């Protein structure tokens, strides 16, 4: 069990958490207007009359946003609703010129689903998906240009969002983190959202409550708004659960409320009393027809699905012989998985995985490089592994060659050729070196024969040194054993 159990004076408490996650949809234009969604444009450059709600403007639905939401829903093993409809969610705010958000209420495009997460202890857990609906993003308020004014950038107004709502299935911060990483990995594989939480393209609200273990009903929850990293989400829910424990333990009670996480203090802070759905006066959006999907359209999207992280992971374990752990680490990131596949092609996949997760990642880390910036190409990494498996070089030389590759980006075979690093597999040559070492170290030979067998390592070291690291270690061991025993 990975549940977070809080110790009260008289009983244990458990944490209950559900998530609402807004994912910005990757599409060329906005969800109800033809304006561009290009990131990094000049302020208020990508704005149409529709986005700023000029009188008489009518929204029209972007088919690409629908396609992206469907892909995501299918990947979440969720029900695709062939009939969905749009609604107005009314509230007044400067970043929402319409005075309402066009969203989906009673009829979301995606219904219930399930996502499997993996936990540290090797267990898996299923997290229920309540729904996923599509809606428009608001504009962005900018508070730090003037001390007295707020500026508004409408570039974001009307960008498509998928809002994913989970069931209250989380029982620990670890599960929250595992789910967010899983979701991010899925949308990145799909190319439906870039998943960058720090840039706000994936934003998480976490609802947290606690209850005595064994109690059935849910208690009032606090909703922590807009957490912008996986780490902060985990910290925020843990802090909040403990805060509520203190309230109950000191005889207090909870009311439903919205809170904000402060990453500096690590605390959640009161924002406002929670607003309830009826306060938004939802009603059907009169400017957009209900969305009715044909079987052909759904089938076309299903046929076009990419291999998802779980499927890839399974294939790497079954077909390439990776351990589940290695496969999980490699498949979490789509680019890493693709790099690995390219490197492993035609070579010993398990060895390639070891190099990738060991020396290769360490090298990128040390040089502070991303995978795309790696001086070592996937093909060259695969070739290096091949040189070892086919006994052209030994493991120690491979490390040296790897160092040179990391500096120069050169091809490993070329490095081995130019520097004369091929290992000595000529038995005669190795025997000659061994005989010399045995002859000039009679004391150690005597000690070895008298039972100090751990001297074997010393002999191997001497032979390797004399061969400038190029002797085949397996042969060295074999011949030494023959000679000494
Ligand atoms: Mn929303």
Instruction: Kindly give the distance from the C-alpha atom of residue 310 to the centroid of ligand 1, in angstroms, as a whole number.
Output: 28
Instruction: Kindly give the distance from the C-alpha atom of residue 131 to the centroid of ligand 1, in angstroms, as a whole number.
Output: 12
Q: What is the mean pLDDT of residues 420-446?
A: 86
Instruction: Kindly give the distance from the C-alpha atom of residue 64 to the centroid of ligand 1, in angstroms, as a whole number.
Output: 19
With vertex at residue 126, the alpha carbon angle to CA 229 and CA 334, rounded to the nearest 5 degrees, is 50
Tokens 């992280």 -> residue: 309
pLDDT of amino acid 193: 97
Instruction: Kindly give the distance from the C-alpha atom of residue 428 to the centroid of ligand 1, in angstroms, as a whole number.
Output: 75
Instruction: Kindly give the distance from the C-alpha atom of residue 135 to the centroid of ligand 1, in angstroms, as a whole number.
Output: 7
452: helix, coil or strand? Answer: coil
Band (pLDDT 50/70/90 cuts) for residue 394 is: confident
Instruction: Kindly give the distance from the C-alpha atom of residue 103 to the centroid of ligand 1, in angstroms, as a whole number.
Output: 7
Task: Determine contact, residues 212/203, Cβ cutoff 8 Å.
Answer: no
Instruction: Kindly give the distance from the C-alpha atom of residue 124 to the centroid of ligand 1, in angstroms, as a whole number.
Output: 29
- Taking residue 43's Cβ as centre, other Cβ atoms within 10 Å add up to 13
Q: What is the mean pLDDT of residues 313-326?
A: 94
pLDDT of amino acid 137: 97
Q: Which helix (H) or strand (E) is 205 found in, with range?
A: strand 202-212
Instruction: Kindly give the distance from the C-alpha atom of residue 35 to the centroid of ligand 1, in angstroms, as a whole number.
Output: 21
Instruction: Kindly give the distance from the C-alpha atom of residue 104 to the centroid of ligand 1, in angstroms, as a whole number.
Output: 9
Entry field: residues in the chain = 485
Neighbours of ion ligand 1 (CB under 5 A): 163
Does residue 149 carry a pLDDT above 80?
yes
Instruction: Kindly give the distance from the C-alpha atom of residue 216 to the centroid of ligand 1, in angstroms, as a whole number.
Output: 29
Instruction: Kindly give the distance from the C-alpha atom of residue 372 to the centroid of ligand 1, in angstroms, as a whole number.
Output: 34
Q: What is the mean pLDDT of residues 121-126?
A: 91
Instruction: Kindly give the distance from the C-alpha atom of residue 163 to the centroid of ligand 1, in angstroms, as a whole number.
Output: 6
Q: For 173-232, write each residue's pLDDT tens digit.
A: 999 999 999 999 999 999 999 999 998 999 999 999 999 999 999 999 999 999 999 999
Q: What is the mean pLDDT of residues 238-257?
A: 95
Q: What does pTM read for this prediction?
A: 0.85
Q: For 100-122, write each residue's pLDDT tens digit.
A: 999 999 999 999 999 999 998 88
pLDDT of amino acid 1: 58
Instruction: Kindly give the distance from the C-alpha atom of residue 190 to the centroid of ligand 1, in angstroms, as a whole number.
Output: 21
Mean predicted lDDT score pLDDT of the chain: 93
Instruction: Kindly give the distance from the C-alpha atom of residue 207 to the centroid of ligand 1, in angstroms, as a whole number.
Output: 14
Alpha-carbon distance 301 to 110, whole Å? 14
DSSP string, 76-129: TT--B-SEE--EEEE--BTTBTTSEEEE--SS-SB--EEEEEE-TTS-EEEEEE
Task: Determine contact, residues 176/129, Cβ cutoff 8 Å.
Answer: no
């Amino acid at each position: 069990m990975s549940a977070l159990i809080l110790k009260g004076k008289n009983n244990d408490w458990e944490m209950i958490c559900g998530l609402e996650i807004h994912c910005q949809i990757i599409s060329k234009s906005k969800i109800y207007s033809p304006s561009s969604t290009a990131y990094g444009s000049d302020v208020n450059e990508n704005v149409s009359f529709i986005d700023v709600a000029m009188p008489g403007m009518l929204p029209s639905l972007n088919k690409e946003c629908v396609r992206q939401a469907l892909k995501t829903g299918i990947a979440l093993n969720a029900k695709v609703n062939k009939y969905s409809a749009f609604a107005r969610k009314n509230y007044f705010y400067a970043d929402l010129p319409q005075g309402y958000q066009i969203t989906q209420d009673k009829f979301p495009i995606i219904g219930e689903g399930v996502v499997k997460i993996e936990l540290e202890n090797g267990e898996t857990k299923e997290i229920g998906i309540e729904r996923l609906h599509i809606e428009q993003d608001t504009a962005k308020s900018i508070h730090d240009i003037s001390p007295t004014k707020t500026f508004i950038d409408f570039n974001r107004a009307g960008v498509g969002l998928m809002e994913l709502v989970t069931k209250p299935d989380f029982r620990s911060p670890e599960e929250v983190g595992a789910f967010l990483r899983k979701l991010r990995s899925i949308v990145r594989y799909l190319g439906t959202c870039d998943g960058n939480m720090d840039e706000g393209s994936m934003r998480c609200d976490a609802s947290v409550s606690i209850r005595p273990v064994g109690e059935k009903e849910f208690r009032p929850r606090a909703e922590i708004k807009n957490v912008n990293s996986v780490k902060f989400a985990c910290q925020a829910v843990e802090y909040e659960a403990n805060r509520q424990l203190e309230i109950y333990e000191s005889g207090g009670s909870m009311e439903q409320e919205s809170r904000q996480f402060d990453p500096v203090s690590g605390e959640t802070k009161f924002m406002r009393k929670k607003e309830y759905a009826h306060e938004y006066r939802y009603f059907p959006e009169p400017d957009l027809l209900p969305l009715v999907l044909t079987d052909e359209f759904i089938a076309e999207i299903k046929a076009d699905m990419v291999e998802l992280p779980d499927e890839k992971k399974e294939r790497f374990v079954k077909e390439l012989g990776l351990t589940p752990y290695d496969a999980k680490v490699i498949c979490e990131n789509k680019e890493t998985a693709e790099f690995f596949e390219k490197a492993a092609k035609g070579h010993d996949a398990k060895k390639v995985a070891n190099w990738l997760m060991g020396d290769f990642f360490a090298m990128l880390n040390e040089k502070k490089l991303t995978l795309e910036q790696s001086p070592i190409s996937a093909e060259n990494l695969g070739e290096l592994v091949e040189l070892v498996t086919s006994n052209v070089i030994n493991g120690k030389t491979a490390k040296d060659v790897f160092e040179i590759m990391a500096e120069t980006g050169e091809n490993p075979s070329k490095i081995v050729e130019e520097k004369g690093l091929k290992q000595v597999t000529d038995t005669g040559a190795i025997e000659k070196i061994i005989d010399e070492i045995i002859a000039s170290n009679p004391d150690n030979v005597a000690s070895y024969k008298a039972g100090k067998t751990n001297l074997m390592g010393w002999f191997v070291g001497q032979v390797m040194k004399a061969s400038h690291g190029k002797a085949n270690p397996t042969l060295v061991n074999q011949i030494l054993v023959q000679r000494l025993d």
